[in-house]
Structure 1
Amino acid sequence: MELTHTRLLVDNYKECFYFYRDVLGFEVSWGDEYSNYADFKFNGSKLGIFERKQMTEAIGEDYSPNIDQADRTALIFKVPNVDDKYQELKDKVAFITEPTEQKDWGIKVAHFRDPAGSLIEIYENI
């Protein structure tokens, strides 16, 4: 697996988009202030921001404004084949989602958590 970026899950997407683009000066590599998802490049790294409500819907959970009980970050790993990695890991981790094509995003994804509860996404481009 290849760690491609860290994704911040935010409730104030536009404000965060402007912060990373205009205040910190990160280069936008995907998205805009209206897309509810954006990737930024800086110093060889990539940071994603994503509207938290959409992430909770993608993993089949109910959105709650109670931030103390919410995911705020996700580690994103690129794999050669999501179905193969899912089969390899399914007896070792409790998957939240099975491999699913997100055609709007051009990826296939599956989600699980580490022992501390951190959200992890594996993906492949389709």
Structure 2
Amino acid sequence: MQFRYDFTRLLVTNFRECFLFYRDVMGFTPTFGTENDTYADFSTGTVNIALFDKREMAATVGAEKLPERVESKDSVCLIFGVASVDETSEYLRLKGVRMVVEPTDHPDWGIRTAHFRDPDGNLIEINQPIEQV
């Protein structure tokens, strides 16, 4: 048996806001669904992203009575490679995105990163390779 990783599905409470964020801010092309639906797919290049209304998914797996959110550390981070972390961070700021962590070099990792969140609070990292000294 072989598994193929097709896409990441984010279960969101703010579907419309997240749809608009991934389409208008991140610039991904929707391949299924609109901001008025409860499910959408976006083409991102290699692995696609899907959004699905969290309440519908909870009903599907019998978790409707569980708390909506619990304060915890992040368990998922979407990672996107970019040509320039600094230029992309500036573009995101102009789109109204608040950076969680400003552009930072991580020589031990070999990358420069910045972090922000989508409208539903999902953590996102952008990164670029840095020269090793």
TM-score, with normalisation over the residues of structure 1?
0.51
| Residue of structure 1 equivalent to 2:53 | 51
2:27 counterpart SS class: coil
Question: Identity over aligned residues, as a percent?
Answer: 37
* 8 A Cα contact 2:5 2:47, kept in partner: no
* Inter-CA distance 63–7: structure 2 relative to 1 (3 Å threshold): farther
Structure 2: unaligned runs, 5 residues or longer: 77-133
* 8 A Cα contact 2:8 2:47, kept in partner: no
| Residue of structure 2 equivalent to 1:12 | 14
Runs ≥4 residues deviating over 3 A: 63-66
Structure 1: unaligned runs, 5 residues or longer: 74-126
Aligned residues: 71
1:6 counterpart SS class: strand
* 8 A Cα contact 1:53 1:63, kept in partner: no
Alignment of 1:55-70 (within 5 A): 55-64=57-66, 66-68=68-70
For 2:48, the aligned partner's letter is K
TM-score, with normalisation over the residues of structure 2?
0.49
2:6 counterpart SS class: strand
1:33 is aligned, of 32, 35, 40, to: 35
Higher relative contact order (CA 8 A, sep 6+): 1
| Residue of structure 1 equivalent to 2:26 | 24
* 8 A Cα contact 1:11 1:51, kept in partner: yes
Aligned-pair CA distance for 1:65: 5.2
- C-alpha RMSD of matched pairs (Å): 2.0
Aligned-pair CA distance for 1:25: 0.6
* Inter-CA distance 56–33: structure 2 relative to 1 (3 Å threshold): same
